[in-house]
Amino acid sequence: MDAPLALPGAPLPLGPTQAAPPNELRRVAEEFEAIFLAQMLAPMFEGLETDGLGGGGIGEEIFRPMLIERYADALSRSGGVGIADSVVRELMRLQETVSMEPTDGASR
């Protein structure tokens, strides 16, 4: 079986006894939370017609998704809504489970 290809910028898969450092897990969990928050924030801006801050028009339509992503990043980095904490806990639990499994190939 071929090994799965890694996405650009994604960490390499860890071996059975290798654990990701907690700060790396935190970064990945916050990125996940930011993506989730961006998806939740996007509908809030869909029906808005603006002539104010962004000046409206095609320029604002183009840059609005980027603004939403920055909002989501800022929310996630400043504590978020708790998704990143749950993801970190689950990833740590999974790493502990994997590190406790027998590595001699014997099935349980």
Helical H segments across 1-108, by residue range: 22-46, 57-77, 83-100
Mean pLDDT of 50-65: 73
**Could you tell me the pTM of the whole model?**
0.63
Portion of the chain with pLDDT greater than 70, in percent: 67
- Check pLDDT > 70 for residue 6: no
CB 60 within 8 A of CB 50: yes
- Sequence ranges of the domains in the chain: 22-98
Q: What digits encode the pLDDT tens for the residues 10-47?
A: 554 544 445 566 788 888 899 999 999 999 999 988 87
Helix, strand, or coil here: 107?
coil
Residue 84 C-alpha from the chain's centroid? 8
What is the pLDDT, as a whole number, of residue 1? 46
Whether the CB-CB separation of 22 and 92 falls below 8 Å is answered with: yes
Closest by CA position to 37, among listed 78, 81, 79, 67: 81
Distance CA 19, CA 6 (A): 17
- Arithmetic mean of pLDDT over the chain: 77
